[in-house]
Amino acid sequence: MGGIGSGRPRRGGRRRAENHPVLDVNVLRREGRLRPGLSTVVTLSPSQENVGMLAGQESLRLARRVALSEGAVTSYQTVGLVRRPCNLGGERTYFICSGTGSGHACGRRAGKLYAARQYFLCRHCLGLAYVCQNEDALGRARLLASKKRRRITCNPDIQAPLPIMKPKHMHWRTFSRLHAEAASAKTKADAILIARLQKEMAMYGMAEAY
């Protein structure tokens, strides 16, 4: 057994990140929990576990009850926080992973940390399958569409309309190229979804006919 974050893939596929209780920096920020000096208790999903948090300017102190073989203990962990202004306006916040997987600190920037035994770690430290690796063609197309649109807007939701105004300091020509790329990636994702729905409907129709 290695150090923190020596997570091993299980037989029959890698563990999926989304099955682990998760701390999402964007959710915490939206909920106002990262204001320096503020202490709150957050309930993780899907485990419904309560985690105490004390926010600092550049760190987040976490307290969590964990059941170990020798009994329940309170596990403390300090996770680094980076607050960066987004060049399209607003602010982006990241965790700095405090995993020490192969004897040295991970230090990766991460939007999400996953609960594993005592600690919250990034997906690399846990050896978790990233959504993308398990995603099918539709998932990948959506991810690409989301990535493309982030060049011109801070909102990664591909269902939201694309901005009409270019970000400051961006040339109109660049903006219109990126806009076209984002729109085309969205169209491709939609086409895959529509094809899939049509196929499912056809199968359903056939099943009814039997």
Among 22, 34, 53, 99, binds Zn ion (CB under 5 A): 99
- Comparing CB distances to Zn ion, the nearer of 53 and 125 is 125
Q: Which of 93, 87, 94, 89 is nearest to 122 (CA)?
A: 94
Among 25, 53, 125, 158, binds Zn ion (CB under 5 A): 125
- Smallest distance, Zn ion to C-beta of residue 5, A: 6
- Comparing CB distances to Zn ion, the nearer of 127 and 163 is 127
Q: Which of 122, 109, 94 is nearest to 22 (CA)?
A: 122
Residue 122 sits in the site that holds Zn ion (CB under 5 A): yes
- Smallest distance, Zn ion to C-beta of residue 38, A: 25
Cis peptide before 46 (omega within 30 of 0): yes
- The type of residue at 52 is G
How many beta carbons lie within 10 A of that of residue 171, not counting itself?
A: 9
Residue 144 sits in the site that holds Zn ion (CB under 5 A): no
**Six-digit token pair at 128?**
């978790």
- Smallest distance, Zn ion to C-beta of residue 83, A: 19
Among 22, 28, 44, 106, binds Zn ion (CB under 5 A): 106
- Smallest distance, Zn ion to C-beta of residue 124, A: 5
Calpha distance 143→124 (Å, rounded): 19
